[in-house]
Structure 1
């Protein structure tokens, strides 16, 4: 068997495995969504029944409370005029009053338990709604990826000229996959996973707070849990957005950058981002739009996460034969000769720029902020 034929088979095998993996992931997400939807319907019916029982116990308790008041009044009259009643009559009135009080106490306790169950069901339903929404959104994105793999990516081998090129391309795919998996694993572990674990702990604290300190303190804890869930949801959405911003294909580079920078500013209190464009606003080839977007994204994320910047200025100039990006921040800066220069983010930026035969310059010093300047030729 020729070397080229062997390369074709190897690459086709890799692509088939990728398609199978994505298909299985889509099926698993669908099952999660369906399971959550079935659980939602079950809990919704239980919630309606619980609400009905709460109302019934309230009404029964109110009626019983009136009977207890009347019985107490009767007992007071009998006690004050005991000479008119026999011992048997007094005991009967007392026992009846005591029985009514015990029954009322039991109903009030049952009402309290049902209220707690109702609140728990409402919280779980809200969580399931979010899970169903995330599963549907993620399923839609995976469908796009699967369509790309099955329709477009299957023809990649036809476009490669030699077995050596196909082998290198296959290795690059595997390496990129593994690196992306490592990055996603780190981000999910450090972000949503930690937040959701904290949510579980705080949800237990809500219950204990409710039992010990009452509804007001418990509601404060609920607000704190909501904030944690909102942060986790933002991190999940950010990770999904990082995989591939769909607006880049639909709207182009500049509108997508504008939307992305506005989102970063909204989710980082105290941060101001200014965005300016110069030159042409025509659509570029996909590889250049993706590259320019990722370079701006990485530079901005470095400024937000590592430099702790309060103000970021982004300038993009697109000319007929070249493009220039300038990202300037007022963060804490770093020593460009130190280990920071070897970070994965900067290494990825340098590799991307070198692949497109461009130039990357980083001007920074500790306490003086950072200026990232990128020149790319548009061939």
Structure 2
């Protein structure tokens, strides 16, 4: 009875904590979004300001040339007062003085515009730092929520099990949050920035059309079209990384072939895909898991192995599917890596294979490359 009351009280405390963390996370996200919108507005103002500065600088250069000519004219008529009349001298003096005054005004305007530009650039840097700090806080809170929102119906058993798997759980959640952050960053730095730029350029085109600058507007629209096309390609790439639709449409092997081709083009690492047996229909979850295992292995090769060649072997057996990924890289000390606690990529792959009721075997040593083998039971 006391245990039930304790668990109920613990549930209440955890639920209130979850609500507080979620509220704080939403508020931080709102701060980041507001800062991002203000940043986009500042970028637009900065773009307009830089254009205006360029025009003022051009005008200053023009006036400086005119002033030199007017000064030369004034010197000429002053020295040759027998040739020129007093009226000529007065006109030359007034012209030189007029240009000098206008030049001073434009120089002052140039200095003021540059000061304003520098202020806007400082504000923009401050906003970008605010956004980065807010994103870090959201990621950290996501890790906390990942633990707090777990199944608490059997707290005693969960706590006991958590002692055994605490390190693995923390690392897996951290990896998930980092992956979410990576996707968010890709969207923010790619399509989101491009769309913000499209809005900015659209406003510029609108101004051009209102000023009857048709040819410039057409050129700007052509660049907009190319920008949207590149943004669409970025979105499709991000979608493919999240969940390749070709898995359901084409199957596992063609999707791996397509991914490996892109991987080779990007990394210049040669990957040989070998398939034994005939590909059989697999459950969607199994296909996705196998694809992720290959993806994770190749990512590890790219980041850590220093390899030139990789072999990916996929073997369809009776009620069993075997996947082997072998590289000719530098290898590593497996026990030392695990003891350092920096092997959550390996732990994640092992966890994924265990969810499929399969096994994972790792063979590696310094200077000897790495071989990872997965055996997954399946029913065709």
* TM-score (norm: length of structure 2): 0.55
* Inter-partner Cα distance in structure 2 for 1:265 and 1:16: 49
Residue 372 of structure 2: aligned partner? 372
Rounded to whole Å, the distance in 1 between the matches of 2:178 and 2:47 is 38
Matched with 1:316 is 314
What count of residue pairs does the alignment treat as equivalent?
Answer: 308
Per-residue CA distance 1:82-139 (angstroms, 9 max, x = gap) = 445699996995696377457536635754774796699699989989x99xx99xx9
Find the counterpart in structure 2 of residue 71 from structure 1. Answer: 70
1:248-268: CA deviation from partner (whole Å, max 9, x where unpaired) = 699569377667656654553
For the 8 Å contact 2:306–2:330, the answer to whether it is kept is yes
Q: How does 1:250-265 map to 2 (within 5 A)?
A: 251=247, 254=252, 264-265=263-264
Q: 8 Å contact 2:324–2:373 — kept in the other structure?
A: yes
Is the partner of 1:373 in helix, strand or coil? Answer: strand
Where 1:327 maps in the other structure, the secondary structure is: strand
Q: Is contact 1:11–1:167 with CA below 8 Å preserved after alignment?
A: no
Give 1:36 shift. Answer: 1.8
Which residue of the partner structure matches residue 273 of structure 1?
Answer: 271
Residue pair 2:53, 2:114 contacting (<8 A) in 1 also: no
Change (3 A) 1:10 1:318: farther
- Which whole-Å CA distance do the structure 1 matches of 2:264 and 2:247 have between them? 20
CA RMSD of aligned residues (A): 5.7
Contact 1:303 1:329 in 2 (8 A): yes
Distance 1:118 1:262, change over 3 A: farther
Per-residue deviation, residues 31-83 of structure 1 (Å, max 9, x unmatched): 31123213422552464366346536645763x45742552342243244144
Give the Cα–Cα distance (whole angstroms) in 2 for the partners of residues 48 and 328 of structure 1. Answer: 55
Q: Against the structure 1 CA distance between its residues 17 and 274, is the aligned structure 2 distance closer, same or farther, given a 3 Å change threshold?
A: farther
Distance 1:284 1:13 in 2: 40
Counterpart check, 1:38 vs 2:38: yes
The Cα offsets for residues 260-296 of structure 1, whole Å up to 9 and x where unpaired, read as 656654553x32334455644534374x556545543
Q: CA deviation at 1:308?
A: 0.9
Name the CA shift for 1:348/1:51 in 2 (closer, same or farther; >3 Å).
closer
Taking the TM superposition and a 5 Å limit, the aligned residue runs for 1:100-249 are 100-101=99-100, 103-104=102-103, 107=106, 110-111=109-110, 114=113, 156=151, 164-168=156-160, 178-180=170-172, 246-247=242-243
> Could you tell me whether the CA contact under 8 Å between 1:248 and 1:289 is conserved in 2?
no
- Return the alpha-carbon distance in structure 2 between the equivalents of residues 26 and 173 of structure 1: 30
Are residues 11 and 272 of structure 1, via their aligned partners in 2, closer, same or farther at CA, if it must alter by over 3 Å?
farther
Change (3 A) 1:67 1:376: closer
What is the aligned counterpart of 1:339 among 336, 358, 362? 336
C-alpha distance in 1, partners of 2:60/2:273? 65
Contact 2:172 2:348 in 1 (8 A): no
Q: CA deviation at 1:326?
A: 0.9
TM, length-normalised to structure 1: 0.55
Instruction: Give the C-alpha shift of residue 28 in structure 1.
Output: 1.9
Matched-pair contact (CA < 8 Å) for 1:247–1:256: no
Q: Give the SS at the match of 2:243.
A: helix
Shift of 1:369: 2.5
Instruction: Describe the shift of the 1:46–1:376 C-alpha distance in structure 2 as closer, same or farther (beyond 3 A).
Output: closer
Q: Which runs of 5+ in 1 are unaligned?
A: 193-236
> In the aligned structure 2, how far is the partner of 1:15 from the partner of 1:274?
51
Evaluate the alpha carbon distance shift between residue 95 and residue 335 of structure 1 in structure 2; reply closer, same or farther with a 3 A threshold. same
Asked if structure 2 preserves the Cα contact closer than 8 Å seen for 1:307 and 1:333, the reply is yes
Once the two structures are superposed, what CA deviation does each residue of 1:15-34 show, in whole Å capped at 9, x if it has no partner?
66456535532442233112
With over 3 angstroms needed to count, the CA separation of the structure-2 counterparts of 1:39 and 1:356, relative to structure 1, is closer
